[in-house]
Amino acid sequence: MVISSVVHHHSVWGHWTQLRWLMNFHRRTMVQWSTAPAQWTLKQKEPVLMPWGASPQSRRALHPASPSFQEVMLTSERYNVQRLPFSHVSNDDVAFFECLMPGRVITNPEELKPFNVDWLKSVQGCSKLLLKPQTAAEVSQVLRYCHERNLAVNPQGGNTGLVGGSVPVFDEIILSTVLMSQIISFDKVSGILVCQAGCILENLNQYLEEKGFIMPLDLGAKGSCHIGGNVATNAGGLRLLRYGSLRGTVLGLEVVLADGSVLDCLASLRKDNTGYDLKQLFIGSEGTLGVITAVSILCPQKPKAVNLAFLGCQSFTQVLKTFTTCRAMLGEILSAYEFMDDKCMELVKRHLKLSNPVTGSPFYVLIETSGSNSTHDEEKLNNFLEKVMISGLVTDGTVATDEKKIKMLWSLRERITEALTHDGYVYKYDISLPVGKLYDLVTDTRARLGQCAKNVVGYGHLGSGRVLEESLRLSSSGDYCFSLFSVSLPHMFCIKEMRGKQEQPIACL
Amino acid sequence: MVISSVVHHHSVWGHWTQLRWLMNFHRRTMVQWSTAPAQWTLKQKEPVLMPWGASPQSRRALHPASPSFQEVMLTSERYNVQRLPFSHVSNDDVAFFECLMPGRVITNPEELKPFNVDWLKSVQGCSKLLLKPQTAAEVSQVLRYCHERNLAVNPQGGNTGLVGGSVPVFDEIILSTVLMSQIISFDKVSGILVCQAGCILENLNQYLEEKGFIMPLDLGAKGSCHIGGNVATNAGGLRLLRYGSLRGTVLGLEVVLADGSVLDCLASLRKDNTGYDLKQLFIGSEGTLGVITAVSILCPQKPKAVNLAFLGCQSFTQVLKTFTTCRAMLGEILSAYEFMDDKCMELVKRHLKLSNPVTGSPFYVLIETSGSNSTHDEEKLNNFLEKVMISGLVTDGTVATDEKKIKMLWSLRERITEALTHDGYVYKYDISLPVGKLYDLVTDTRARLGQCAKNVVGYGHLGSGRVLEESLRLSSSGDYCFSLFSVSLPHMFCIKEMRGKQEQPIACL
């Protein structure tokens, strides 16, 4: 299963063989439709690498240390996959699209390059055509045409995905949501926002903050990622602990199916029990069932008080015990619990000049509280801190209450992914494992790879239940790379190593 | 569309005509499969009607004032629906089932009666066979056999549903989950409970409370309803405001499809992004796609401090303004906001001898807080109460902190449905409307029905966003009854009145 990282959502079918009715749906376009989120947005800036405290820039973008586009291997070569018998884009096709959306049809190879390569520069497609529709009606016309002409399509949002799913594998037409960035409505009483799929997460959050609300999700890639891509990939992110998953907060979707038909499930009722909840099929389906063109989402009120604690722990066991204590003592105001190892902090310091105010610990945790009463919240946080310091669970730490300092501390966590890209190729896995075994994966991988890997680091959300994000950094000469099967149960996780085109399991958990 | 209240989930297809692939799935059994929840459980007691303070019995059960089974009209007569060409149950069929599950095959007409009539006694089927499987394997064998023999099946949970969806329309075989009440596992670290579908909600909650957790949902029918039925109907209930919908808290399902195949989506990971989230299709699908046999659900920790305020308001506008103030000032600890009109309180007093400690207001609200620090929570609640009393939004009220008094106040709200059944037939609608217009429906219906209705009352959750539960009580001689289309958008809501077999719209909102 050499192409597992590209089409990782397919492996699940192995144990649901009864459901032919779902598999057969638009099977033709399924294989080449990969992930929805994608695209270096036009508004994206080059990142400004500042010392700690200067700019908590979280926008994902290219940086000088990255390999150039030319160095990125073609997906088809890396994974030895064969193109399916889709039609090739003809001059007539281009003329049709140019007539449909004049000036928003890109064929210039230079302009196309950043849309063909993923953010981690691990895979590259060779699309020759990029379309930038502005409305669901245009998306519908494009898909109907492509369906009739048997042309493969790759929907793309902010192109911030880390698993190579947002870019074409071959010459699929890239359908970008970059110009679908209109806010359609916001209701202050219910907190329900309706917007087009191409709205950038951070822009939505800024819009809402002015009205006393926030988005129910937050990601390191917020400066570039599109809300449509967030929904298509069921992004969890930094606020999941407090506001739950998109399956609960997304109230409605407008989706264009592969044949061009528009499915309007844009409900703006919090409770809607009529019929099957079809929109759920599209949440997390990564563009394989349709293109999300608009989203209705329930937004929480902006918390009046936010506190942040950045703490040092001497072992991963202590990180876990601190989490249990924290969950019990901070209860309803706990809004984030992130951990990272010292290697992560070393990397953000070296590459991004961010300095960690807490040093000398093998593990760090970032704890955020969000509540309606600052006095109460600070009291709860202080009681908690006193307890973990006295019991020795935590050995060092700092607390921030003002917005600027909070952002600075958050950037230590949010910019780890960016820091990792400065050493060459990075293979990043977002893994769900029982909490107790999370860090064993890092330790075991370090031992297994030895000098072959430049960095093997562990960090991520503990608060979301059982999630580990792990990054493996390989030496630039590295002849190892990893693919990880995304399957639903921990005991089925299987890490494979690949040397050239051969791969063998190295660990089954 | 005379049968809309029986097969109300079908009306949605009108505007999703593209999705033939879903419609064609097991279409044969779809029409006669109605709702999953149902059954007067064996453990169910006759309600003990005590004065206020004596017994906050919330168990739904028959009471002496109800019409006898004989008085309940057959669904097929009331709605003039025709039986589809399913096979009839033969002696050979009964012998097969008796061999499969000896002693758990009921054919005695007397024993079958309560399974054929819904809790509100508004509809009646005439099933001649009730099966009580204990395992998913048995459910699978039953369904495979019925599929081959073309026998219609009606899955039934606690039979507490209020829309007539839990009982057979004709002679469908009733497949009850009453004996599927095993708890499979509970993980204290993650709070994940895995159990069979027939577990009674209240029993699960009691089991969890001993371990410091609670169920993420609570309903008036908790003493009888089955968790499988809760999931099949996507029950919201009293804790939705705090813990969100079942779409977020249900982590996995085991479902047996109509052909007997078992779909195992019993994940116990909080985040699982692999493949399509098929379990979502079964949440709220009311037994039409399969029988839920086991549930994996994320349970929150039991809150350390619970407070309850029961307040009087002079108008519905003040109820809404109090909600806005409450949401802002109580923030993360607000766990319930229920309203009820004075007519509701009059009924629980007259029929159930429950007395409301707050009197003389046209509207009442019940506000519950759940938090981790009693001092903080009481302070927040007091600040809120001071504000709403001074501003005149609230004119009277009482506050409870001890468990017994809290249960008593809750029973004023939870037992309204029970009180309503004491006057004859009740038609109860659980409606989603924009909050501002919620109560207009009650006022307009009262004006329209005049003396024909004994009671028209309004009560329900405001906290869940936009939900109204409205009950219409008709005179026992009443020649009016109502059917309400369950559709997804407010502007499509349409109330119809029926006189004999003729029905006409009386209001389109």
d(CA B10, CA B487): 10
Whether the CB-CB separation of A463 and A334 falls below 8 Å is answered with: yes
Buried b (16+ CB within 10 A) or exposed e, B100-109: ebeebbbeee
The number of C-alpha atoms within 13 Å of A379 and in the hemisphere containing its C-beta is 11
Model pLDDT, residue B104: 97
Whether the predicted pLDDT of A56 surpasses 80? no
d(CA A298, CA B115): 39
pLDDT-based confidence at A375, cuts 50/70/90?
very high
Contact residues on chain B for A373, CB-CB shorter than 8 A: 331, 376, 379-380
Model pLDDT, residue A258: 93
Helical ranges in A55-135 per DSSP H: 75-79, 91-100, 109-116
Say yes or no: B466 contacts chain A, CB-CB below 8 A.
Answer: yes
The answer to whether the Cβ–Cβ distance between B372 and A236 falls below 8 Å is no
The answer to whether the Cβ–Cβ distance between A274 and B11 falls below 8 Å is yes
How distant is the Cα of A226 from the closest Cα of chain B, in angstroms?
18
d(CA A483, CA A473): 13
Q: Which of B273, B285, B289 would best serve as a mutation to test chain A binding (most A beta carbons within 10 A)?
A: B273
The number of C-alpha atoms within 13 Å of B222 and in the hemisphere containing its C-beta is 24
Model pLDDT, residue A13: 23
The answer to whether the Cβ–Cβ distance between A281 and B280 falls below 8 Å is yes
Is the model more confident about A47 or about A347?
Answer: A347
How distant is the Cα of B324 from the closest Cα of chain A, in angstroms?
8
d(CA B58, CA B410): 9
Name the closest residue on chain A to residue B13, using Cα atoms: A275
Q: Which of B147, B211, B274, B299 would best serve as a mutation to test chain A binding (most A beta carbons within 10 A)?
A: B274
Name the closest residue on chain A to residue B330, using Cα atoms: A372
Whether the predicted pLDDT of A480 surpasses 60? no
Beta-bridged to residue B470, according to DSSP, are: B429, B458
User: CB neighbours (10 Å) of residue A81?
Assistant: 17
Identify which of A177, A176, A26, A152 has the alpha carbon closest to the alpha carbon of residue A89.
A152
Model pLDDT, residue A191: 85
Say yes or no: A275 contacts chain B, CB-CB below 8 A.
Answer: yes
Annotate A271-334 with DSSP letters as a single string.
---SS--THHHHTTSTTSS-EEEEEEEE-PBPPSEEEEEEEEESSHHHHHHHHHHHHHHHGGGE
CATH number for the B183-298 domain, one of 3.40.50.11540, 3.10.50.40, 3.30.465.10, 3.90.1150.10? 3.30.465.10
Using CB atoms, pick whichever of B244, B267, B333 lies closest to residue A488.
B267
Average pLDDT, stretch A305-322? 94
Using CB atoms, pick whichever of B190, B278, B435 lies closest to residue A466.
B190
Whether the predicted pLDDT of B164 surpasses 60? yes
Model pLDDT, residue B272: 61
Model pLDDT, residue A433: 66
Model pLDDT, residue A8: 32
CATH architecture of residue range(s) B305-416: 2-Layer Sandwich (3.30)
Is the model more confident about A500 or about B74?
Answer: B74
Computed from CA positions of residues B226, B231, B233, B239, in that sequence, does the dihedral angle turn out positive or negative? positive
pLDDT-based confidence at B119, cuts 50/70/90?
confident
d(CA B85, CA B186): 44
| CB interface of B with A, residues 474-493, below 8 Å | 486-490
pLDDT-based confidence at A270, cuts 50/70/90?
low
Whether the predicted pLDDT of B2 surpasses 70? no
- Tell me the pLDDT of chain A averaged across its residues: 76
Contact residues on chain A for B8, CB-CB shorter than 8 A: 274
* Residue the block writes with tokens 């293979």: A427
Say yes or no: B9 contacts chain A, CB-CB below 8 A.
Answer: yes
Identify which of B199, B239, B221 has the alpha carbon closest to the alpha carbon of residue B57.
B221
Average pLDDT, stretch B459-480? 40
The answer to whether the Cβ–Cβ distance between A263 and B330 falls below 8 Å is no
Model pLDDT, residue B176: 97
Whether the predicted pLDDT of A485 surpasses 50? no
The answer to whether the Cβ–Cβ distance between A25 and B25 falls below 8 Å is no
Identify which of A300, A389, A372, A299 has the alpha carbon closest to the alpha carbon of residue A333.
A372
Whether the predicted pLDDT of A16 surpasses 90? no
Tell me the pLDDT tens digit for each residue of A84-101.
Answer: 999 999 999 999 999 999
Is the model more confident about A339 or about A89?
Answer: A89
Whether the predicted pLDDT of A301 surpasses 80? yes
pLDDT-based confidence at B348, cuts 50/70/90?
very high
Least confident stretch, B36-40, B246-250, B410-414: B36-40
Say yes or no: A464 contacts chain B, CB-CB below 8 A.
Answer: yes
Average pLDDT, stretch A204-227? 94
Using CB atoms, pick whichever of A276, A285, A332 lies closest to residue B22.
A276
pLDDT-based confidence at B395, cuts 50/70/90?
very high
Contact residues on chain A for B233, CB-CB shorter than 8 A: 273
CB pairs under 8 A between A and B: 202
Model pLDDT, residue B454: 79
Give A130's contacts (C-beta < 8 A, 6+ positions apart). Answer: A105, A106, A107, A111, A112, A115, A173, A174, A176
Model pLDDT, residue A466: 32
Amino acid B480 reads Y
Contact residues on chain B for A16, CB-CB shorter than 8 A: 263, 275, 278
How distant is the Cα of B4 from the closest Cα of chain A, in angstroms?
12
Average pLDDT, stretch A298-323? 93
pLDDT-based confidence at B463, cuts 50/70/90?
low
Average pLDDT, stretch B428-457? 77
To the nearest 10 degrees (0 to 180), the angle between helices A316-330 and A374-390 is 150
Tell me the pLDDT tens digit for each residue of B476-496.
Answer: 222 222 222 221 122 222 333
The answer to whether the Cβ–Cβ distance between B488 and A272 falls below 8 Å is yes
Is the model more confident about B296 or about A505?
Answer: B296
Say yes or no: B467 contacts chain A, CB-CB below 8 A.
Answer: yes
Say yes or no: B29 contacts chain A, CB-CB below 8 A.
Answer: no
Model pLDDT, residue B277: 86
Model pLDDT, residue B70: 61
pLDDT-based confidence at B123, cuts 50/70/90?
confident
How distant is the Cα of A60 from the closest Cα of chain B, in angstroms?
23
Average pLDDT, stretch A240-268? 87
Model pLDDT, residue B184: 95
Model pLDDT, residue A383: 95
Whether the predicted pLDDT of B15 surpasses 60? no
Model pLDDT, residue B159: 95
CATH architecture of residue range(s) A8-176: 2-Layer Sandwich (3.30)
Question: At residue B293, what are phi and psi to the nearest 5 degrees?
Answer: -110, -20
The answer to whether the Cβ–Cβ distance between A245 and B240 falls below 8 Å is no
| CB interface of B with A, residues 170-189, below 8 Å | 189
Is the model more confident about B9 or about B370?
Answer: B370
Model pLDDT, residue B396: 92
Is the model more confident about B390 or about A16?
Answer: B390
Say yes or no: B233 contacts chain A, CB-CB below 8 A.
Answer: yes
pLDDT-based confidence at A79, cuts 50/70/90?
confident
Whether the predicted pLDDT of A34 surpasses 50? no
Computed from CA positions of residues A176, A180, A181, A187, in that sequence, does the dihedral angle turn out positive or negative? negative
pLDDT-based confidence at A507, cuts 50/70/90?
very low
Is the model more confident about B188 or about A173?
Answer: A173
How distant is the Cα of A465 from the closest Cα of chain B, in angstroms?
6
Contact residues on chain A for B378, CB-CB shorter than 8 A: none
d(CA B305, CA B397): 20
Is the model more confident about A275 or about B296?
Answer: B296
The answer to whether the Cβ–Cβ distance between A331 and B376 falls below 8 Å is no
* Residue the block writes with tokens 């989120």: A37
Say yes or no: B190 contacts chain A, CB-CB below 8 A.
Answer: yes
User: CB neighbours (10 Å) of residue B221?
Assistant: 27
The answer to whether the Cβ–Cβ distance between A274 and B487 falls below 8 Å is yes
How distant is the Cα of A266 from the closest Cα of chain B, in angstroms?
9
Percent of chain A with pLDDT strictly greater than 70: 74
Whether the predicted pLDDT of B192 surpasses 80? yes
Say yes or no: B154 contacts chain A, CB-CB below 8 A.
Answer: no
How distant is the Cα of B15 from the closest Cα of chain A, in angstroms?
9
Whether the predicted pLDDT of B429 surpasses 50? yes
Tell me the pLDDT tens digit for each residue of B126-157.
Answer: 999 999 999 999 999 999 999 999 999 999 99
Whether the CB-CB separation of A478 and A425 falls below 8 Å is answered with: yes
- Tell me the pLDDT of chain B averaged across its residues: 76
Model pLDDT, residue A57: 39
| CB interface of B with A, residues 417-446, below 8 Å | 432, 435-436
Whether the predicted pLDDT of A46 surpasses 80? no
Model pLDDT, residue B259: 94
Say yes or no: B509 contacts chain A, CB-CB below 8 A.
Answer: no
Spell out the domain ranges in chain A.
Answer: 8-176, 183-298, 305-416, 424-508
Tell me the pLDDT tens digit for each residue of B34-57.
Answer: 333 332 222 323 332 222 223 333
Tell me the pLDDT tens digit for each residue of A398-456.
Answer: 999 888 999 999 999 989 888 887 876 677 776 666 667 778 888 888 888 777 777 88
Tell me the pLDDT tens digit for each residue of B98-108.
Answer: 999 999 999 99
What H or E segment, with its residue span, contains residue A483?
strand A481-484
Average pLDDT, stretch B245-267? 90
Whether the CB-CB separation of B244 and B270 falls below 8 Å is answered with: no
Query: ipTM value of the model?
Result: 0.71
d(CA A378, CA A391): 20
Whether the CB-CB separation of A486 and B274 falls below 8 Å is answered with: yes
The number of C-alpha atoms within 13 Å of A205 and in the hemisphere containing its C-beta is 17
Model pLDDT, residue A364: 96
The answer to whether the Cβ–Cβ distance between B277 and A284 falls below 8 Å is yes
